[in-house]
């Protein structure tokens, strides 16, 4: 039963306090229980993330010392590495690996060219540094102390994550959905494993005693566990699991709606348990029922447009509504053991002591995570908010106790700890710098044990706010000033011009310019997030209905939907330039410059006048800039249009969709405007008579057509 229902039935302050004390370790006061607001919608000018009136807050526990086994070994790559007094920083834009001297205030020791768009670095047991070169299709090795690359191994299309175990390097190849195993004594690939994950991104290795396992994680929130078989090679175990879909309850109701996990871009190993920690987000894109409710409540003013912003974070709904989270996108961390995934505990929210908002609203776009070697502290970098979230992992649910924020530079990409655990180093990707943080304020809080005496609680503390002791630039930004400005607007979440209450940035949904695989229920109906990287130039008009002929006008409309105050003309121009020229699409694993026989047959079908794909998708990847009814209008959209027509006294309009670019189709599934087609074959079958004509094609011919579509 919901907690606020219990509370309504209690008649004394003592009873309320007793019930609350059994639910949370924090102090509980009755002055924050504004029950009248639970049944009334929040006013439009109220920040829905505020906790002072509608939520009770608690204090985080201080961290504890870990009982780490001496035979524990762990490994996971990231864009930053450390070995002794050297810090290794991946410079993606300049295509280099920069080595800094941590004993000499982060002075640059050497800079090594490694190739196009390097992604991660990891240090082998012998001190060699290995770098995954994402757009070079290879990993390269820099010998210990060397000034240049000593060896390279071609591994396939788009290598990203890495881990080391003994004399073997494990590389996640996202474009090919594989995990490649390299023998570091011969630099040869000795095994290739099909992960069966759409876009695997990270891999972790953990060994405790004789038991070892690898966890491969896909960015959409699926993980697979691999273990060593009798012959020393890896095999997939039964450990396929999904990431968590709820955070600890943040409302009196103690009820959290199941959300969708996405953006799993960083992972690490818990040194005490061997569990895998995966940084990601939870997304609440709205539902058909809430959208229709919003539409009914709307006056459909402003030229017939709904005033609701749908799943983009509208402020409608009750203050204590248990059916939705306070934010459309929330940071989260999943802990995966050998047999289980994080169990969500029931806990009141930790509050920002300065603003009264949920403390977690300070963070967006998680990019990396690492665990302290001796204390129950996990550190998560947040690309969109220029900070690091520190969590106390001493609780069963790691997300229960956010304990600190560390402010760093622009777009923190990765974090590592010094070998003694006393310092942290953060890579600020857009500042081309590394920040050094003294962890003493956090370590000084540490207690030996949570159980001081029978029935006692661990010590509590207010959330801490820390800053680096130094931040040192290691390179200069090669991008033009207008691209730099546009990149900042695209990435930084704390900009009220972009979104209300600093909830969103463009990159909150468009990871690296791609898409979040979500269908958002906005005012006009269900809308899948489209990919942007390499798909905007020359493809106007924009959005699914083609209502905006200029990209800047469409950006304005999106910002309005996100509740932003709006950008200046100069800012819009900079953002447009970055979106057109600064977003780099991933390399295509289905095309190496020459079509296969099947792809060639598919191309012939694509441009066949009867099949007629090329009639609208000009040149194969372009657009005819026209709108069409291809039979994919949903019942929700039809209902909303009928409601609009009824309220405005007009006839229902024909709903049509703009011809989209087909660039990058291989990585932009699901398909259609509402994301209802899971594969390209589904698209062909559902629109066999309405989008060109494919009803007469055999299965073999449609397979050829799909093969060609994946090359675009």
Per-residue model confidence (pLDDT) at position 302: 42
Per-residue model confidence (pLDDT) at position 119: 98
Alpha-carbon gap, residue 561 to 516, rounded angstroms: 17
**479-587 shares its CATH topology with 588-712:** yes
Q: Is the dihedral of CA 188, 191, 196, 202 positive or negative?
A: negative
* 23 has pLDDT over 50: no
The segment with the largest mean pLDDT, out of 346-350, 375-379, 497-501, 612-616, is 375-379
Which residues in 450-480 are b (16+ Cβ under 10 Å) and which e? beeeeeeebeebebeebebeebbebbeeebe
Per-residue model confidence (pLDDT) at position 303: 43
β-sheet bridge partners, residue 380: 369, 389
Query: Tokens 């229980």 sit at which residue?
Result: 33
Per-residue model confidence (pLDDT) at position 54: 54
Asked if residues 350 and 402 have their Cβ atoms less than 8 Å apart, the reply is: yes
Instruction: Check residue 671 and give left, alpha or beta (phi > 0: left; psi -120 to 50: alpha).
Output: beta
User: What is residue 706's DSSP assignment?
Assistant: H
Could you report the per-residue pLDDT of 562-578, keeping only the tens digit for each? 888 999 999 999 999 99
Could you report the per-residue pLDDT of 571-617, keeping only the tens digit for each? 999 999 999 999 999 999 999 999 999 999 999 999 999 999 999 99
* 526 has pLDDT over 70: yes
311 phi/psi in degrees, rounded to 5: -75, 0
Across the range 366-392, mean pLDDT stands at 97
Per-residue model confidence (pLDDT) at position 455: 66
Any idea which architecture 72-289+326-473 has in CATH?
7 Propeller (2.130)
Asked if residues 83 and 425 have their Cβ atoms less than 8 Å apart, the reply is: no
Cis amide leading into 584 (omega within 30): no
Confidence of residue 492 (pLDDT cuts 50, 70, 90): very high
β-sheet bridge partners, residue 164: 169
Per-residue model confidence (pLDDT) at position 70: 73
The CA-atom distances, in angstroms, between 644 and each of 301, 302, 519, 648, 651 are: 10, 12, 22, 6, 9
* 326 has pLDDT over 60: no
For residues 78, 79, 84 and 85, what is the CA-based torsion angle, rounded to 10 degrees? -150
Angle between helices 569-577 and 481-491 (to 10 degrees): 90
Which residues in 7-37 are b (16+ Cβ under 10 Å) and which e? beeeeeeeebeeebeebbbbebeeeebeeeb
Asked if residues 511 and 263 have their Cβ atoms less than 8 Å apart, the reply is: yes
Across the range 621-644, mean pLDDT stands at 88
According to DSSP, the β-strands at 464-466 and 402-407 are: parallel
Confidence of residue 312 (pLDDT cuts 50, 70, 90): low
Across the range 99-128, mean pLDDT stands at 97
**Percentage, residues of the chain above pLDDT 70:** 83
Could you report the per-residue pLDDT of 533-555, keeping only the tens digit for each? 999 998 889 999 888 999 999 99
Alpha-carbon gap, residue 74 to 135, rounded angstroms: 27
Helix, strand or coil, per DSSP, at residue 657: strand
Instruction: Check residue 470 and give left, alpha or beta (phi > 0: left; psi -120 to 50: alpha).
Output: beta
Per-residue model confidence (pLDDT) at position 44: 54
* 174 has pLDDT over 80: yes
* 291 has pLDDT over 90: no
Could you report the per-residue pLDDT of 24-77, keeping only the tens digit for each? 333 333 233 333 333 344 455 566 666 555 556 778 999 999 988 777 788 899
Could you report the per-residue pLDDT of 331-341, keeping only the tens digit for each? 999 998 876 66
Per-residue model confidence (pLDDT) at position 12: 33
Query: Tokens 């397979």 sit at which residue?
Result: 703
Residue 304 neighbours by CB distance under 10 Å: 13
Any idea which architecture 479-587 has in CATH?
Orthogonal Bundle (1.10)
Across the range 160-179, mean pLDDT stands at 95
Q: What's the chain's length in residues?
A: 712
* 393 has pLDDT over 80: yes
The segment with the largest mean pLDDT, out of 324-333, 379-388, 519-528, 661-670, is 379-388
Per-residue model confidence (pLDDT) at position 22: 33
DSSP for 607-650 reads: T-TTT-HHHHSTTTT---S-EE--S---HHHHHHHHHHHHHHT-
Per-residue model confidence (pLDDT) at position 6: 32
Residue 656 neighbours by CB distance under 10 Å: 14
* 418 has pLDDT over 80: yes
Helix, strand or coil, per DSSP, at residue 417: strand
In this structure, of 65-79, 431-445, 503-517, the range with the lowest mean pLDDT score is 65-79
3-state secondary structure string across 158-190: CEEEEEEECCEEEEEEHHHCEEEEEECCCCEEE
Alpha-carbon gap, residue 499 to 562, rounded angstroms: 5
- What is the number of helices (H) and of strands (E) in the chain? 14, 36
Contacts of 49 (CB under 8 A, 6+ apart): 326, 327, 357, 358, 361, 501
Which CATH class, in words, describes the domain spanning 588-712?
A: mainly alpha
Closest CA to 499 of 320, 321, 329: 329
Alpha-carbon gap, residue 426 to 409, rounded angstroms: 8
Contacts of 113 (CB under 8 A, 6+ apart): 95, 96, 148, 149
The CA-atom distances, in angstroms, between 110 and each of 98, 107, 121 are: 6, 9, 15
Per-residue model confidence (pLDDT) at position 230: 58
β-sheet bridge partners, residue 335: 277
Per-residue model confidence (pLDDT) at position 48: 61
Helical spans, DSSP H, in 518-568: 551-561
Per-residue model confidence (pLDDT) at position 29: 31
Q: How confident is the prediction for the chain on average, in pLDDT?
A: 84
Strand order, beta sheet including 107-113: 80-83, 86-91, 96-101, 107-113
Alpha-carbon gap, residue 275 to 278, rounded angstroms: 10
Alpha-carbon gap, residue 197 to 193, rounded angstroms: 11
Per-residue model confidence (pLDDT) at position 540: 87
Asked if residues 571 and 674 have their Cβ atoms less than 8 Å apart, the reply is: no
According to DSSP, the β-strands at 72-76 and 200-208 are: antiparallel
Per-residue model confidence (pLDDT) at position 614: 92
* 273 has pLDDT over 80: yes
* 255 has pLDDT over 50: no
* 405 has pLDDT over 60: yes
Alpha-carbon gap, residue 411 to 426, rounded angstroms: 10
Name the more confident of 436 and 504: 436
* 260 has pLDDT over 70: yes
Alpha-carbon gap, residue 63 to 448, rounded angstroms: 9
Asked if residues 583 and 534 have their Cβ atoms less than 8 Å apart, the reply is: yes
Per-domain boundaries in the chain: 3-58, 72-289+326-473, 479-587, 588-712
* 300 has pLDDT over 50: no
Contacts of 593 (CB under 8 A, 6+ apart): none
Q: Is the dihedral of CA 480, 485, 490, 493 positive or negative?
A: positive
Query: For the whole model, what pTM was predicted?
Result: 0.90
Confidence of residue 265 (pLDDT cuts 50, 70, 90): very high
């Amino acid at each position: 039963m919901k907690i606020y229902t219990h509370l309504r039935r209690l008649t004394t302050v003592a009873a309320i306090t007793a019930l609350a004390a059994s639910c949370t370790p924090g102090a509980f006061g009755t002055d924050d229980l504004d029950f009248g607001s639970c049944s009334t919608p929040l006013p439009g000018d109220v920040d829905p993330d505020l906790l002072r009136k509608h939520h009770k807050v608690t204090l985080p526990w201080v961290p504890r010392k870990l009982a780490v086994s001496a035979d524990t070994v762990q490994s996971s790559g990231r864009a930053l590495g450390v070995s002794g007094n050297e810090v290794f920083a991946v410079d993606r834009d300049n295509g280099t690996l920069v080595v800094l001297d941590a004993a000499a205030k982060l002075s640059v020791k050497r800079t090594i060219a490694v190739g196009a768009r390097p992604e991660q670095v990891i240090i082998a047991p012998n001190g060699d540094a290995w770098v995954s070169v994402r757009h070079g299709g290879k990993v390269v090795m820099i010998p210990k102390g060397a000034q240049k690359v000593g060896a390279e191994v071609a591994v396939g299309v788009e290598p990203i994550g890495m881990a080391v175990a003994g004399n073997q390097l494990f590389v996640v190849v996202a474009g090919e959905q594989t995990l490649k195993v390299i023998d570091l004594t011969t630099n040869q690939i000795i095994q290739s494993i099909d992960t069966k994950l759409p876009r695997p991104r990270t891999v972790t290795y953990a060994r405790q005693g004789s038991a070892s396992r690898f966890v491969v994680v896909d960015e959409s929130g699926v993980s697979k566990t691999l273990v060593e078989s009798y012959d020393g090679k890896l095999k997939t175990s039964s450990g396929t699991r999904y990431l968590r879909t709820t955070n600890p309850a943040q409302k009196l109701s103690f009820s959290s709606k199941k959300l969708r996990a996405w953006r799993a871009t960083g992972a690490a190993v818990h040194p005490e348990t061997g569990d895998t920690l995966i940084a990601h987000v939870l997304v609440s894109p709205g539902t058909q029922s809430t959208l229709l409710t919003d539409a009914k409540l709307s006056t459909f003013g402003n030229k017939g447009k709904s005033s609701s912003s749908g799943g983009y974070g509208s402020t409608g709904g009750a203050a204590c509504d248990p059916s939705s989270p306070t934010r459309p996108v929330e940071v989260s961390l999943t802990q995966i053991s050998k047999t289980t995934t994080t169990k969500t505990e029931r806990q009141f929210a930790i509050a920002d002591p300065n603003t009264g908002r949920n403390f977690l609203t300070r963070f967006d776009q998680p990019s990396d995570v690492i665990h302290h070697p001796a204390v129950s502290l996990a550190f998560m970098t947040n690309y969109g908010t220029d900070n690091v979230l520190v969590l106390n992992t001493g609780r069963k649910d790691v997300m229960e106790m956010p304990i600190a924020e560390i402010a760093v530079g622009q777009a923190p990409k990765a974090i590592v700890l010094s070998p003694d655990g006393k310092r942290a180093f953060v890579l600020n990707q857009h500042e081309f710098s590394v920040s050094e943080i003294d962890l003493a304020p956090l370590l000084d809080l540490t207690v030996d044990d949570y159980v001081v005496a029978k029935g006692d609680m661990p010590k509590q503390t207010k959330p801490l706010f820390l800053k680096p002791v130094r931040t040192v630039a290691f390179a200069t930004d090669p991008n033009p000033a207008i691209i730099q400005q546009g990149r900042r607007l695209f990435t930084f979440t704390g900009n009220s011009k972009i979104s209300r209450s600093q909830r969103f940035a463009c990159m909150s949904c468009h990871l690296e310019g791609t898409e979040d695989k979500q269908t958002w229920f906005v005012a006009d109906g269900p809308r899948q997030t489209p990919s942007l990287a390499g798909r905007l130039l020359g493809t106007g008009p924009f959005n699914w209905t083609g209502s905006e002929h200029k990209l800047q006008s469409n950006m304005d409309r999106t910002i309005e939907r996100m509740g932003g105050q709006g950008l200046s003309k100069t800012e819009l121009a900079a953002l447009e330039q970055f979106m057109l020229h600064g977003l780099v699409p991933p390399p295509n694993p289905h095309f190496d410059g020459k079509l296969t026989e099947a792809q060639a047959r598919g191309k012939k079908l694509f441009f066949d006048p009867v099949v007629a794909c090329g009639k609208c998708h000009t040149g194969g990847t372009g657009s005819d800039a026209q709108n069409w009814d291809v039979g994919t209008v949903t019942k929700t959209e039809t209902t909303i249009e009928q409601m609009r027509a009824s309220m405005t006294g007009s006839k229902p309009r024909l709903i049509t969709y703009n011809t989209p670019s087909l660039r990058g189709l291989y990585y932009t599934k699901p398909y259609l405007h509402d994301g209802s087609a899971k594969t390209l074959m589904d698209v062909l079958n559902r629109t066999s008579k309405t989008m060109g004509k494919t009803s007469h094609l055999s299965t073999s011919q449609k397979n050829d057509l799909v093969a060609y579509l994946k090359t675009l």
